[in-house]
């Protein structure tokens, strides 16, 4: 898995996930926001922390 260079809003994490699985990147972004705001037991800070960790741990793509 790689972070996207082209399909990105913040750091390309959602774009990279969408590219890897063949999903629409806007739906992945919507799912991340929904998890942060709607799912009980998951706080916004947990999602932000996971996103920051993904930025730090997932390398950026050379191709996309």
Q: Which tens digits make up the pLDDT trace of 5-34?
A: 998 999 999 999 999 999 999 999 999 999
Dist CA 40 CA 42 (whole Å):
6
Res 40: pLDDT: 84
Q: Quote the number of domains for the chain.
A: 1
Domain that residue 40 falls in: 13-57
Residue 2 domain flag: no
Secondary structure element (H or E) that encloses residue 5, with its range: none
Residue 40 domain flag: yes
Judge whether residue 64 has pLDDT over 90: no
pTM confidence score: 0.82
- What are the residues whose beta carbons fall under 8 Å from the beta carbon of 24, sequence distance 6 or more? 18
How many helical (H) and strand (E) elements, i.e. helices and strands, does the chain have?
3, 0
């Amino acid at each position: 898995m790689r972070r996207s260079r082209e399909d990105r809003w913040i750091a390309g994490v959602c774009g990279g996930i969408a590219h890897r699985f063949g999903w629409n990147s806007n739906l992945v972004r919507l799912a991340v926001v929904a998890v942060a705001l709607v799912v009980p037991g998951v706080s916004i800070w947990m999602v932000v922390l996971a996103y920051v960790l993904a930025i730090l741990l997932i390398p950026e793509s050379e191709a996309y």
